[in-house]
Structure 1
Amino acid sequence: MSSLLSDLINLNLLDITEKVIAEYIWIGGSGIDMRSKARTLSGSVNDPSKLPKWSYDGSSTGQAPGQDSEVILYPQAIFKDPFRRGNNILVMCDAYTAAGEPIPTNKRHNAAKILSHPDVVAEEPWFGIEQEYTLLQKDVQWPFGWPIGGFPGPQGPYYCGTGADKAFGREIVDSHYKACVYAGINITGINGEVMPGQWEFQIGPSVGISASDELWVARYILERITEIAGVVLSIDPQPIKGDWNGAGAHTNYSTKSMRNEGGFEVIKKAIGKLEKRHKEHIAAYGEGNERRLTGQHETADMNTFLWGVANRGASIRVGRDTEKAGKGYFEDRRPSSNMDPYVVTSMIAETTILQKP
Structure 2
Amino acid sequence: MSLLNDLINLNLSDTTEKIIAEYIWIGGSGMDLRSKARTLPGPVTDPSKLPKWNYDGSSTNQAPGDDSEVILYPQAIFKDPFRKGNNILVMCDAYTPAGEPIPTNKRFNAAKIFSHPDVVAEEPWYGIEQEYTLLQKDTKWPLGWPVGGFPGPQGPYYCGVGADKSFGRDIVDSHYKACLYAGVNISGINGEVMPGQWEFQVGPSVGISAGDQIWIARYILERITEIAGVVLSFDPKPIPGDWNGAGAHTNYR
Residue matched to 2:195:
196
Point out the structure with the larger helix share: 1
AA in 2 matched with 1:189: G
**Cα deviations across residues 63-91 of structure 1 (Å, max 9, x unaligned)?**
00111000000000000000000000000
**Match of 1:78?**
77
Q: Which runs of 5+ in 2 are unaligned?
A: none
Q: Distance in 1 between matches of 2:190 and 2:199?
A: 5
Q: Hey, what's the Cα distance between the residues in 2 that align with 1:195 and 1:111?
A: 33
Unaligned runs of 5+ in 1: 255-357
2:31 is paired with a residue whose SS is: coil
Task: Give 1:62 shift.
Answer: 0.5
Listed as ranges, the matches of 1:51-70 within 5 Å are 51-70=50-69
**Matches of 2:40 and 2:220, distance apart in 1:** 21
Q: Distance in 2 between matches of 1:106 and 1:43?
A: 29
Q: What TM-score comes out, normalization by structure 1 length?
A: 0.71
Q: Tell me if 1:214 matches 2:220.
A: no
* 1:105-159 residue CA offsets vs partner (Å, 9 max, x unmatched): 1000011011111111110000000000000011111101100110000000000
Residue 237 of structure 2 corresponds to: 238
Question: Displacement, 1:245?
Answer: 1.1
User: How does 1:1-357 map onto structure 2 within 5 Å?
Assistant: 2-254=1-253
SS of the residue aligned with 2:86?
coil
Deviations, residues 149-200 of structure 1 (Å, cap 9, x unaligned): 1000000000000000000000000000000000000000000000000000
Task: Please give the alpha-carbon distance, in whole angstroms, between the structure 2 residues aligned to 1:26 and 1:157.
Answer: 37
Aligned amino acid, residue 101 of structure 1: E
CA distance in 2, matches of 1:193, 1:229: 20
Tell me the TM-score normalised to structure 2 length: 0.99
Distance 2:147 2:190 in 1: 24
Higher strand share: 2
Q: Root-mean-square deviation (CA), in Å?
A: 0.4
